[in-house]
Structure 1
Amino acid sequence: MEEPTMEKRHSTKESAKFQIADELGGIELLDAQYETQNFSRHSHEGYTVGVIERGAQCFFRTGSNHVAPQNSIILVNADEVHTGHSAVEGGWAYKAMYPLPEQFKSIAQALGTNRYGAPYFPEAVVYDPELANQFRLVFETLEKSNNRLLRETLVYASLVKLMSRHGKTPPKPTETSKTQQQLIRVKAFLDDFPQADVSLTELANLAEISPFHLVRAFQKQFGFPPHAYQIQARLRYAKTLLKAGHSISDTAQECGFHDQSHLHRHFKKAMGITPRQYMNS
């Protein structure tokens, strides 16, 4: 079997094309090539399913660093903290989709396997040439074809195969401790009021623990300290507003960013595209 390779190429101009396909109620897609892009610690509401087309990517997921070489598939679970940067000289190119847990659940339900809901992908990088080529066909079809039946069939088939080959039963949730309940309370506040100018002391009072304990426990539980999680919540809110047609400047102000450039910087580091690219998709 052909093994994945890590090629060194000459510098390539960075580019990123973002779109939202209509299938399954809307799936975000990204076709990008990067050299200097360094994704900050971030998470997505959806899963990340990406195929490395050139070069190699290094990224953090589930407590350790991973390298995804050419022809491999990247898998990141929904809401899982991860990063991303080039692993080789000359950068990397990849195509990715970001299906939501609800979309996987609907597929599992249709298959009669909805007992455990959305899948969990334990492996950050998998080498499955057949599936990688199938996803390449999906990406190409979603970009070039308007045949709804073909598009929906290919998306459905590829995600079914991904679940059956590499998906596992999600870890069973353990009983929630008092501290976890306190942390969930803080997380819920940041999710519901991302624009709020709230202090660490106020969040600690909400959780009924000390500020120092809150920072350490929150990061251990959710992968971010509270201030970094607030940025993630603001970015999710910004995506909602931009998708609804709000201007970038109004979105920045409404989400609690200092200004438009502040939103632009965080959006690009987490999403790999600018707010305007997202708005125009």
Structure 2
Amino acid sequence: MSIIKEHADFIHLKEFGGLELLKARYHHKQFSRHVHEGYCIGVIEEGAQSFFRTGQLHTAPKGDIILVNADEIHTGSSAVESGWGYRAIYPTYEMLHDVSQDFFTIKNSVPWFPQAVVHDVGLAQQLILLFDLLEQKENTLLKESMYLSTLARLFQLYGRAKLSQAELPEAQRKVELIKDLLSAFPAHDFSLTELAAHVGLSPWHFLREFKKHTGLPPHSWLIQIRLRYARQLLKQGESIAQTAQNSGFSDQSHLNRHFKKAMGVTPAQYLLNFKH
């Protein structure tokens, strides 16, 4: 009986503003609930994946497209005994802004994908071709053209416009203000009382509203913000130990543990294909 080896490789594409491409093959890996700063746009190339998103469990077999919105709570595990393999890109809001404005007329809106799993053979093949191109050196013009045309097709067929923060209901707007505050000061040791007072809510009401609108309690969300900040520091050349300290983790092992649960790799593995 052959043993299926798990691996995950991040390719950092500087010519696309730091866009990340993930190539991964997992067997027993189970991702905890986590968020990404960017969207996840991927294709299952082997086996099948099971993942939680938008309040329910989804299954994506080989050939299907997986879509997770930025800052959206999700998990990941195998849906079959043999595991799953996939490739995915993680564009941020900023990376998608220009192309999405050509499709969505709502001012200051951001793209949103209501479907977690899409079965579209043609678009899946186009994404796979894009991933193949992104792994190659040179060919910048072809890469950029393919990248934009693929995103445009994805928006046109499966994208929607998400309301800007100013147009959100009051309670959700207050939650967004706290998310912004945590993002601005990721290493700060906030108290629940402090955060609730910042938006004029009682601690219990704030705790309930935050979890309702994000899917995580504030302390778990802060861990995700710290992981995001840690990735920025690592890519700027900060040592792993210094990154742990500067991003609010108690020590390097604390960072390593949370990093691997969310990203599938250690900080050192994450930087393997990154040149400072």
Measure how far apart 1:221 and its partner are: 1.7
Match of 1:64 in 2: 56
Number of residues of Structure 1 aligned to a counterpart in Structure 2: 270
Measure how far apart 1:222 and its partner are: 1.7
Measure how far apart 1:197 and its partner are: 1.9
Match of 1:170 in 2: 162
Asked if 1:50 corresponds to 2:35, the answer is no
Match of 1:267 in 2: 259
Asked if 1:103 corresponds to 2:91, the answer is no
Of 78, 88, 93, which residue of structure 1 is paired with 2:85? 93
Structure-2 separation of matches of 1:169 and 1:226: 26
Structure-2 separation of matches of 1:257 and 1:125: 34
TM-score by length of 1: 0.89
Asked if the contact 1:56/1:91 (under 8 Å) is kept, the reply is yes
The 10-residue stretch of structure 1 (82-91 or 99-108) with the greater mean CA deviation from structure 2: 99-108
User: Structure 2 counterpart of 1:255, which letter?
Assistant: S
Match of 1:115 in 2: 105
User: Structure 1 counterpart of 2:83, which letter?
Assistant: G
Asked if 1:15 corresponds to 2:7, the answer is yes
Asked if the contact 2:110/2:163 (under 8 Å) is kept, the reply is no
TM-score by length of 2: 0.90
Structure-2 separation of matches of 1:170 and 1:208: 26
Asked if the contact 2:104/2:160 (under 8 Å) is kept, the reply is no
User: Structure 2 counterpart of 1:253, which letter?
Assistant: Q
User: Structure 1 counterpart of 2:147, which letter?
Assistant: V
Of 153, 157, 176, which residue of structure 2 is paired with 1:161? 153
Asked if 1:250 corresponds to 2:248, the answer is no
Equivalent residue of 1:99, what SS? coil
Equivalent residue of 2:180, what SS? helix
Note closer, same or farther for the CA distance 1:189–1:175 as it changes in structure 2 (3 Å cut): closer
Stretches of structure 1 lacking an aligned partner (at least 5 in a row): 1-8
Asked if the contact 2:104/2:161 (under 8 Å) is kept, the reply is no
Stretches of structure 2 lacking an aligned partner (at least 5 in a row): none
Q: Report percent identity of matched pairs.
A: 50
Measure how far apart 1:11 and its partner are: 4.6
Measure how far apart 1:171 and its partner are: 5.0
Match of 2:223 in 1: 231
Structure-2 separation of matches of 1:22 and 1:187: 27
Match of 2:192 in 1: 200
